[in-house]
Amino acid sequence: MTGLAGVLSQPFLRYAFIAGAAIAAASGLAGYFVVLRSQVFTGDALSHVAFTGALAALAAGADLLVGLYGACVLVALAMAALGARGRADDTVIGSVFAWILGLGALFLSIYTTSAAGASAVSGVNVLFGTIFGLSAAQAVIDTAVAGCVCLALIVIARPLLFASIDEAVARARRVPVRLLGAVFLGLVGVTAAAATQAVGALLLLGLLAAPAGAAQRITTRPFRGLWLSAAFAVASVWAGLLIAYAAPKVPPSFGILAVATGIYLAALALTGNGRSA
């Protein structure tokens, strides 16, 4: 316990633990619905957009957070609007994403060549996260935003669950299915933007998918799965942070993803291959 107290006496670690837990809880809750609604792909899309949005803001001389949240929420809402008829196939979506990432590479190079003192570090940070680099102000913002996302998700959890599992019946029972879907995607966008700072744009898909996938393997009861998913995500972040703290050469994002993947593998091994979620 003295070791843990030692860890928490460092301000940057305290920020990382608190903000990381909030972000992880939001990712776990949102991820559960993302996997349930077969929208993992949306998470993938948002990770590309998060990178390009953040670097576009940097290249334009604005604050990184503005670009990050702006791009993620806008694209999430646009995807909700396209929603039903936008069932484009793999090649189209993949081409668009590749181009968005190409734009991100352009903004990265504009930023690194134009701004004085800027280096490729910021680009790498957006890609792979900087949870140990959070300032006090950032930690407060992230914790508040992620906390609000958690609350909102818990409030809409019951109707959203209904709409996700049986859309037709939910619609017949006057559940506002389309509105719920749009609100949910907006929340996923906010979560993606917050998670980008913790684990990076490239890895946020893992934080959305792995804990939720593991939870759905272990239990088929929805609310238990929801809490389990959030718990797995928080556990991954904390354990990953401790690993990164103990072994300074290991980036925290890798620690987080390794623990999350380990939990998923354990869930797969425990439940065997026969049972599907």
Partner 1 sequence: MSWNIVADVRQLFLFSFMVNALRAGTIVAVAAGALGWFMVLRRQAFAGHTLAIVSFPGAAGAILVGISATVGYFTAAIAAALVIAAVPRSADGRARSGESAIIGTVQAFALACGALFVSLYGGFLNGLTNLLFGSFLGISPSQVVALLAVATAALAVLAVIARPLFFASVDPDVAAARGVPVRLLSGVFLVLLGCAAAEVSQITGALLVFALLVMPAATAQQVTARPMASFWLTIALGLVVVWLALAAAYYSVYPVGFFVTTFGFAAYVLAAAGRAAAARSRRLRLAATPAGSTA
Show the binding pattern over residues 123-142: x = contacts partner 1 (CB under 8 A), - = does not: xx--xx--------------
Show the binding pattern over residues 179-208: x = contacts partner 1 (CB under 8 A), - = does not: ---------------------x-xxxxxxx
- Taking the alpha carbons of 102, 104, 105, 106 in that order, is the dihedral positive or negative? positive
Nearer to partner 1 by Cβ, of 122 and 143: the residue is: 122
Contacting range for partner 1; rule: CB under 8 A; set: 22-30, 141-149, 171-179, 248-256: 248-256
Hey, what amino acid is at 57?
A
For 83, which DSSP code? Answer: T
Nearer to partner 1 by Cβ, of 143 and 192: the residue is: 192
Hey, what amino acid is at 236?
S
Nearer to partner 1 by Cβ, of 8 and 115: the residue is: 115
Rounded CA gap, 133 and 103, in Å?
26
Contacting range for partner 1; rule: CB under 8 A; set: 69-77, 116-124, 135-143, 218-226: 116-124
Burial 205-242 (b: 16+ CB within 10 A, else e): bbbbbbbbbbbbbbbeebeebbbbbbbbbbbbbbbbbb
Contacting range for partner 1; rule: CB under 8 A; set: 5-13, 64-72, 76-84, 252-260: 252-260
Q: Which of residues 21-50 bind partner 1 (CB under 8 A)?
A: 35-38, 40-41, 43-44
Nearer to partner 1 by Cβ, of 2 and 276: the residue is: 276
Nearer to partner 1 by Cβ, of 182 and 277: the residue is: 277
Q: Which of residues 83-102 bind partner 1 (CB under 8 A)?
A: 89-92, 94-99, 101-102
- Taking the alpha carbons of 229, 179, 39, 216 in that order, is the dihedral positive or negative? positive
Show the binding pattern over residues 139-178: x = contacts partner 1 (CB under 8 A), - = does not: ----------------------------------------
Shortest distance, CB of residue 4 to partner 1, whole angstroms? 24
Rounded CA gap, 261 and 237, in Å?
12
Rounded CA gap, 157 and 29, in Å?
9
Shortest distance, CB of residue 137 to partner 1, whole angstroms? 26
Burial 132-169 (b: 16+ CB within 10 A, else e): bebeeebbebbbebbeebbebbeebbebbbbbbeebee
217 binds partner 1 (CB under 8 A): yes
Number of residues that bind partner 1 (CB under 8 A): 60
Transcribe 204-216 into DSSP letters.
HHHHHHHHHHHHH
Helices of type H across 166-221: 167-172, 177-199, 204-218
Of 275, 58, 75, the residue nearest 188 (C-alpha): 75
Question: What residue ranges bind partner 1 (CB under 8 A)?
Answer: 35-38, 40-41, 43-44, 89-92, 94-99, 101-103, 105-106, 108-110, 113, 119-121, 123-124, 127-128, 200, 202-210, 212-213, 216-217, 249-251, 253-254, 257-258, 260-261, 264, 276-277
